[in-house]
Amino acid sequence: MKIAVARETRDGESRVAMVPELVGRLTALGYEVAVEPDAGRHALLADDEYAAAGAVVDETALDGADVVVAVQPLATDSIRRLQAGAATISFLPTGQEPEVVGALRDAGITSFAMELVPRISRAQSMDALSSQALVSGYRCAVVAAGMLRRFFPLNMTAAGTVPPAEVVVLGAGVAGLQAIATARRLGAVVKAYDVRAAAAEEIRSMGAQAIDLELDTLDGAGGYAREMTEERAALQMERLTPYVAAADALITTAAVPGRRAPLLVTRSMVEQMKPGSVVVDLAAESGGNVEGAEPGEVVRIGNAQVWGGQNVPSQMPGPASKLYAQNIVNIVQLMTLEGAFAPDFEDEIVAGSCVTHGGRIHHEPTRLALE
Ligand code: NAD
């Protein structure tokens, strides 16, 4: 059985789906590992390191592969090179990639989407949304600290005291909690808000103050948030305005599965921030939590510099790749039986994450949307 590691081809993607130190885990499962040349280059992983770990580094790595692992969906010309019945494991946002889904179906590929892995306890080791959100959350806090031209921590010196920065975090899921933890480690005073009932306790456990807006909580299915009504959104904005105005740094990470990111902070709220303040919007790519934020850019709104996130995990490609590769090894292991790739469709992790199989779209919401 051959498992191939694809070289990422999309603009701005610096991660790689497998790292040399984990190649041995795949060979121990019974796979031959083939890697496309330069696959790890942007993550500072050399072809020689993959070869030393037991992989074959070759331009023809994808040819004859039983399983291909990647970060981003494969390009359609790579899909056409695969043998019918081969499997791919990558991120595969089906709503945004109908052509790729169609190509996988038509080529008879069994494809798995890492973002569809059910978020159940047994699947935690395969949860790439969480592993990459951890990287994003850390990065957001460090970007905010780097852009802010003042200290995060309190400094008490012989000459006098410099107060700590005040950081506000909106959205306290995996990324938001990591942003809180990082800002706290740097010594900032942190306040945070999330619409889920369990979030307040989680925020406090990170050493931050949970903002109470005296609004209903919005718990949806699967431990995720529900979308706000327009009325609820307007009230939330009104009550958050003084917190945003008082913040030196605002970090936003809010998301609702399958929806555009909720708009939490209007341009006029940002305009009330102090001179020198910074805003980091992790959700800029999926519609933005902050009005006017642009993915991959820093824009000025009023007194604030507003940084919009774009493929944020890829900005720390080494650790992001290592964590993702661990998720990949764990899901490959789940689908391997006695040295063969043999996904068991009775398993809810396998069934839940499969997008195409046997010439059909297996993922029902995608099939209903596309066919
Ligand atoms: P996410 O990326 O979908 O959303 C990020 C955060 O934004 C969430 O906490 C959400 O509540 C918040 N949000 C949504 N709308 C908001 C609004 N209007 N205002 C403020 N905040 C808003 O979520 P996530 O980080 O992937 O995780 C969400 C939940 O799932 C968490 O409870 C997390 O602990 C849980 N989770 C469980 C597992 C598991 O059991 N395997 C794995 C990962 C996450």
User: Which of 12-21, 94-103, 214-223, 335-344 bottoms out in mean pLDDT, i.e. has the lowest?
Assistant: 214-223
177 lines ligand 1 (CB under 6 A): no
- The DSSP bridge partners found for residue 192 are 169, 210
Give yes or no for residue 253 CB within 6 A of ligand 1: yes
Q: Which of 202, 256, 281, 349 to mutate to test the pocket of ligand 1 (most atoms within 8 A of CB)?
A: 256
User: Residue 289 has what DSSP assignment?
Assistant: S
**Amino acid occupying residue 184:** R
Question: What digits encode the pLDDT tens for the residues 261-281?
Answer: 999 999 999 999 999 999 999
**145 falls in which pLDDT band (50, 70, 90)?**
very high
Question: What does the pLDDT read at residue 206?
Answer: 97
- Provide the pLDDT confidence category of residue 258 given band limits of 50, 70 and 90: confident
- Residue 212 annotated in active site: no
Residue with the two structure tokens 């059909």 = 360
Whether 72 contacts 10, CB under 8 Å: yes
> Sorting pLDDT into bands at 50, 70 and 90, what band is 198?
very high
Amino acid 212: pLDDT: 97
Q: Give the pLDDT of residue 221.
A: 85
Interval 158-171 mean pLDDT: 97
Q: How far apart are CA 52 and CA 63, in angstroms?
A: 22
In this prediction, residue 334 has a pLDDT band, given cuts at 50, 70 and 90, of very high
Q: What is the pLDDT of residue 231?
A: 95
Query: For the residues 312-324, what does the mean pLDDT come to?
Result: 98
pLDDT at 259: 86
Say whether 334 sits in a helix, a strand or coil: helix
Whether 119 sits among the annotated catalytic residues: the reply is: yes
- Among candidate residues 181, 175, 172, 139, the one with its CA nearest the CA of residue 318: 139
Report the mean per-residue pLDDT for the chain: 97
Alpha carbon distance, N-terminus to C-terminus of the chain:
33
What band does 257 get if pLDDT is binned at 50, 70 and 90? confident
Exactly one of 66, 81, 209, 224 is catalytic; name it.
Answer: 224
Nearest to 358 by CA among 345, 369, 339: 345
Residue 194 Cβ contacting ligand 1 at under 6 Å: yes
**Among the listed residues 198, 169, 174, 201, the one whose alpha carbon sits nearest the alpha carbon of residue 186:** 169
Gap from CA of 84 to ligand 1 centroid (Å): 37
Distance between CA atoms of 192 and 371, rounded to whole angstroms? 42
130 lines ligand 1 (CB under 6 A): yes
Query: Strand, coil or helix: what is 5?
Result: strand
Question: What would the two tokens of residue 14 be?
Answer: 């610096």
pLDDT at position 294 is 98
Q: pLDDT confidence of 303, banded at 50, 70, 90?
A: very high
Q: List the helix and strand counts (H, then E) for the chain.
A: 12, 19
- Tokens coding 258: 């399958």
Summarised one tens digit per residue, pLDDT across range 204-243 is 999 999 999 999 999 988 888 999 999 999 999 999 999 9
* pLDDT beyond 90 at 187: yes
Q: Is 310 a catalytic residue?
A: no
SS3 (DSSP) at 160: strand
